[in-house]
Amino acid sequence: MQLDFTNLLNSLNEVINIDYVMNADDFMYDTYKPLKNGVSIKGRAYQKVGVVYLELDVKFDFFGVCDRCMDDLEKNYEFSLSKIIVNKMENDNDDYDDYIVLDNNVLELDDLINEEIQLFLPAKMLCKEECKGLCQSCGKNLNYEKCECVKEVDPRLAVLSDLLID
C-alpha cells in the first residue's frame, strides 16, 4: 500500500486514516513464512505545527516453531510505532530511527511494516519462557518427559561443579 503525503507536506490540514490488512505471505522469519492471516494496521498520519506524524498500531498472528523444543507455536503480537515524515534530513547526524525520509512524497507502507516486524520479533522464538528444549543425547522433549540419559561433564570443567550449590 502506498501512502501519498503530498498534501500533508504542503501544510494542508488533512488527516490520512489508515485501516489496512497487509498480505504477509512473503514475509520470511528464519527459514519459514509465519504470518498466515495478514497484518492488521490501523492508525493515522497528520500534521501538527508543520511536522507530519505517522502513528500506527500493528497486530498479527505468528505461526512458527519453538527454537528449543521444535513444538509448533502460535503467538499474537501487537505493537505501536510513531514516526516523523520528512522529505530530506537537514543534518546527516540526525537520528534516523524516528524519521522516515520519503521518496517523491510517497511511503511504501508494506516495506515499513515488514522492517518493523523484523525488528520487533525476538531473535529466538520460544513456546514458553521456561521451555526446557530437547535432550541433547536422546532427543526427548524435556517439557513433556524426563530422559534417563547420563549427563556427561567435560573433565576440564568438573572442578566448577564443586562450586554449585544444590
Our measurement of the distance from residue 149's CA atom to the centroid of its chain's CA atoms, rounded to an integer in Å, reads 37
Helices (H) and strands (E) in the chain, counts: 3, 7
- Render pLDDT for 24-79 as a digit per residue (tens, 0 to 9): 888 888 778 888 889 999 999 998 888 889 999 999 999 999 999 999 999 999 99
Distance between CA 38 and CA 36 in Å, rounded? 6
Q: Between β-strands 99-101 and 72-86, what pairing exists: parallel, antiparallel or unpaired?
A: parallel
pLDDT greater than 80 at residue 90: no
Domain ranges of the chain: 2-129, 132-166
The size of the chain, in residues, is: 166
Rounded CA Rg of the chain: 23
The number of beta carbons lying within 10 Å of the beta carbon of residue 148 is 8
